[in-house]
Amino acid sequence: MYKVFVNDTPIILSTKKDLGGEYKTYSIKTVRLKRLIRKIIKGKITHVNLYHRKEEKLLKLLRKKIKVVVAGGGKVYNSNGEILFIYRNKKWDLPKGKIEKDETIEECAIREVAEETAITGLQITGFLRITFHVFKRKGKYRLKETYWYNMSSDYEGELIPQEKEGIEKVKWKNPEKAEKALKNSYANIKLLFEEDNITVPKNTSVEA
């Protein structure tokens, strides 16, 4: 099962025809996805299940229906156990960005975190998960597929927000402050703090 967020509304991709409750099930193979996305944005539909009996085909079929933008990002810890947050578009977020040509996804994640926050000495300590969300670019819907990594750094210098990317603040937050920040964050970012429920898609290829 996967979750693809449209704003904070999740589209569920699953091998179950019936999720119960208010969920409406559509075949992922035949659904008119962009029309469905518009209905979700307008609030006409709030509980969506896209079904296929074979789990390995769920993402493959989704990617055929909407152009994918691959990105990398990091959940960065310092030696005090604090986590690095950015503030952009009136929301607390974690640093991430689009992969560039001839770059591995790990290189992308480290580069983007460094560019958006001015932090140095980053090390990847492990893969976290992949998140999916729909956004609009030049009037067309896109699927952002973000590969997240746990990272660490002993950096104690100044944190500088990348203003050209709309970032207003960069802050280290202890667990208590992080919990507060998550109340004003995105649903897919909140997933990164549910580490006991990691979903890694099968046969995933990464391209710029």
How high is the pLDDT of residue 197? 36
CA dist., res. 121 & res. 132, Å (int): 28
CA dist., res. 25 & res. 51, Å (int): 7
Give me the percent of the chain exceeding a pLDDT of 90. Answer: 90
**DSSP one-letter code for 15:** S
CA dist., res. 172 & res. 131, Å (int): 22
How high is the pLDDT of residue 132? 97
CA dist., res. 114 & res. 117, Å (int): 5
| Mean pLDDT computed over 14-38 | 95
pLDDT digits (tens, 9 = 90+) for 46-87: 999 999 999 999 999 999 999 999 999 999 999 999 999 999
Q: What is the residue-averaged pLDDT of the chain? A: 92
pLDDT digits (tens, 9 = 90+) for 138-175: 899 999 999 999 999 999 999 999 999 999 999 999 99
CA dist., res. 92 & res. 86, Å (int): 6
pLDDT bin (cut points 50, 70, 90) of residue 206 is very low
How high is the pLDDT of residue 103? 96
How high is the pLDDT of residue 195? 58
User: Which amino acid, one-letter code, is at 103?
Assistant: E
How high is the pLDDT of residue 100? 97
The answer to whether residue 199 scores a pLDDT higher than 90 is no
The answer to whether residue 200 scores a pLDDT higher than 80 is no
How high is the pLDDT of residue 204? 37
How high is the pLDDT of residue 194? 86
Give me the percent of the chain exceeding a pLDDT of 70. Answer: 93
pLDDT digits (tens, 9 = 90+) for 106-115: 999 999 999 9
CA dist., res. 181 & res. 142, Å (int): 27
CA dist., res. 50 & res. 26, Å (int): 5
User: Which amino acid, one-letter code, is at 195?
Assistant: E
CA dist., res. 95 & res. 184, Å (int): 15
The two most distant CA atoms of the chain are separated, in Å, by 52
> Which one, of 179, 161, 178, 158, lies nearest residue 170 by Cα?
161
The answer to whether residue 15 scores a pLDDT higher than 70 is yes
Token readout for 106 is 């790990």
How high is the pLDDT of residue 202? 36
pTM over 0.75: yes
Domains of the chain by start residue, with CATH? 2-65 (no CATH), 67-191 (3.90.79.10)
How high is the pLDDT of residue 201? 38
Strand partners, 3: 12
Token readout for 44 is 């006409």
